[in-house]
Structure 1
């Protein structure tokens, strides 16, 4: 059996929850002895097995449209695969060629036609195209990365709520930072440095609380980086902004910090939340997000509420940190790999 794995973001690098999903899924197939094509819109940045793509170089812009156009890459191997495993989240019409399994994590906020005029112009065609592909959703097999995403997918495509397979977290790696004593009044925020990650909220929270913060993430938007640095200076916030920091260095910071702040409302899950928990940090998360399912007791709906929750997180007792560490363990990569294979086997049989 040959599987077509649609992994649009193979051409990107850095801290990425979607990248963790790619890596763990491909590992699961390889460990099970299943061969596959690695399908992306543009050429993968790193070496992958059996690459299939359209453009010979990575393209950084128009990410969402690339997720639709990867359909033309997939068509190249439509007669060579027994199943498509779509890890890029977007609907593309492949079910007439082979069973189409879609692992998705898309929030309602992510696809709304709202915001600035330019943003509305950019998103309007996308919204219309996805609306016309509802027929494909009724043929495809979905799994969601949180109950929050499952509800959004059900509403968007008018289908029953799909099963939930929480994404993989490298719990073992981040557990190396777990220790109770010798921590500072410090919070960490992890996310790609791009506008839709709302990293400016971490700067605002630091200024409002007086608690030092560290923002870590792969650099995707230099203009946005300049904007948040400027905001930090205007607000006189005690925040370090560290683009493209190696994971080992991030681990050292997590070993010193007491709390994690997740700034993006509407996040479909938020792998860094669970990574921080494995390291013994107490996360503060938006109530409107998949992360709320993991740590509801430290959630917020407004920045004013987040201020109080961050103060609680920083002053939490040691037993709370131990509980967070234990709560992170079931989100490990082995669990994810087993659940992904089980989901595929249910549909196409035990011969997978």
Structure 2
């Protein structure tokens, strides 16, 4: 096989998430600089919807799966076997480069070193922070971090997480800087955490905005928009849509009674559909009329698996984007909203605050419901011209996050090791 292959390994290609767009963008970037990417995973590699999801066509690249079946549950456990998929894909294609956003390749440490493979690890979040007793009390340890706590603190998900963390040490590499030729992180926030864990700081490579998310040059004006707030991200507990419906929206409606809330999200699993139904029940109990159809008059729209053109349409007619996740590692949904010229409001934590909003330079932040309400009302009323200022700032920031810039930046970093 050609030595110009590069294995791009991810545990699950079958949904539109931050990890998937990074691996898709990396595959595209390697192809641009002269390598043929091999898309590797534990189960069947499904990328037929990537053009619709991201505007990146991966259909022409070879695919390698350790097992050929589809799997819709137990996703995090797939990570534990990615090392085997990497090993077999490298052997089959003779690849000398591996790009992965997984940390569970510990069993092939000697294989990587003996074969002289240039391994590139991309860190979304150093998992050691969640499971290592040294980090208890930091607010990011399991049981303290809302990002994990919201999803894995209750039965049966707490048992699901417990078993995963018990198995994890068998597969987790000790220190990426001892194996990988290049260690990358999605944000300055993540890079600082990684330095605390490993003693060295990764290079920061922000994920790109999907190329099918147009960066608008002339967004609709404030006066052309309705009083509505948009949220985007899979229907999952850590996105805290329930918190917004229960604590934020009622306070907003007291000051701006006709304000609508649109929530778009992926809902391809039983867990996500259960959470969606829970949100509908919660909204009804709070007195809000709900709908999954944006063409029906309602207060709260909960739209699963919406097409990109519909999401863009609603963003273009709304006045604010709200992101409720605490300690979001990056925030691709925030970046997508900024590309539409939509002012954003994010929690003052994680990569969304450090890299996208840059601690208030390009958007608004909050630490509690009252601050979130105040920031949103500021935008809904355009007090002190704030809507126009932050709409312009959003576009300015998003222009640095294109796929083309991702290719340039990754190529520059790869030149140090290849």
TM-score (norm 2): 0.76
2:15 to 13, 21, 25: 13
- Structure 2: which 5+ residue stretches go unaligned? 49-58, 132-140, 144-152, 254-258, 289-298
Q: 1:113 aligns with which of 120, 136, 142?
A: 142
2:331 paired residue among 264, 267, 270: 270
- Show CA shifts across 1:145-174 (max 9, x none): 001111222334x23121111110137733
Secondary structure of 1:8 counterpart = coil
Compared with structure 1, are the counterparts of its residues 55 and 131 closer, same or farther at alpha carbon in structure 2 (3 Å cutoff)? closer
Give the alignment partner of residue 311 of structure 1, picking from 367, 373, 377.
377
Tell me what 2:135 maps to: none
CA contact (8 A) 1:179 1:279 kept: no
SS at match of 2:86: helix
**Structure 1 residue corresponding to 2:277, chosen from 210, 226, 243:** 226
Could you tell me whether the CA contact under 8 Å between 2:338 and 2:394 is conserved in 1?
A: yes
The alpha-carbon distance between structure 1 residues 305 and 131, as it changes in their structure 2 partners (threshold 3 A), is farther
Residue aligned with 2:199, SS: coil
CA deviation vs aligned residue, 1:184-240 (integer Å, no higher than 9, x gap): 111100001122322223323222211321000111321111111111111124211
Of 149, 174, 181, which aligns to 1:135?
Answer: 174
8 Å CA contact 2:83, 2:104 repeated in 1: no
* Counterpart-to-counterpart distance in 2, 1:153 and 1:41: 26
SS of 2:213 mapped into structure 1: helix
CA–CA separation in structure 2 for the residues paired with 1:282 and 1:125: 41
In the alignment, structure 1 residue 194 sits paired with structure 2 residue 251: no
Note the C-alpha offset of 1:305.
Answer: 1.8
Q: Which residue of 2 aligns with 1:4?
A: 7
Matched, 1:102 2:168: no
Q: How many residues align?
A: 344
Look up the SS of the partner of 1:39 in the other structure: strand
Structure 1 position 130, deviation (Å): 4.4
Distance 1:179 1:231, change over 3 A: same
Pair 1:323–1:233, CA change in 2 (3 A): same
Change (3 A) 1:315 1:232: same
Q: Secondary structure at the match of 2:416?
A: helix
Superimposed CA distance per residue, residues 38-81 of structure 1 (whole angstroms, 9 cap, x where no aligned partner): 10111022354221112322212122211221222112133322
Q: CA deviation at 1:129?
A: 4.7
The equivalent of 1:252 in structure 2 is 313
Residues 71-101 of structure 1, C-alpha deviations (whole Å, 9 max, x = no match): 22112133322021003x3331244322321
Q: Verify the 8 A CA contact 2:103 2:173 in the aligned structure 1.
A: no
TM-score by length of 1: 0.90
| Residue of structure 1 in register with 2:87 after alignment | 75
Would the alpha carbon gap of residues 117 and 173 (structure 1) be closer, same or farther in structure 2, given more than 3 Å must change? closer
Distance 1:172 1:76, change over 3 A: closer
2:123–2:183 CA contact under 8 A, matched in 1: yes
Of 130, 148, 158, the residue aligned with 2:189 is 148
Residue by residue over 1:294-347, the C-alpha shift from the partner in whole angstroms, topping out at 9 and shown as x without a partner, is 222211112222111221232332233122221221111111111122222211
Post-superposition shift, 1:33? 2.1
Partner of 1:248, secondary structure, is: helix
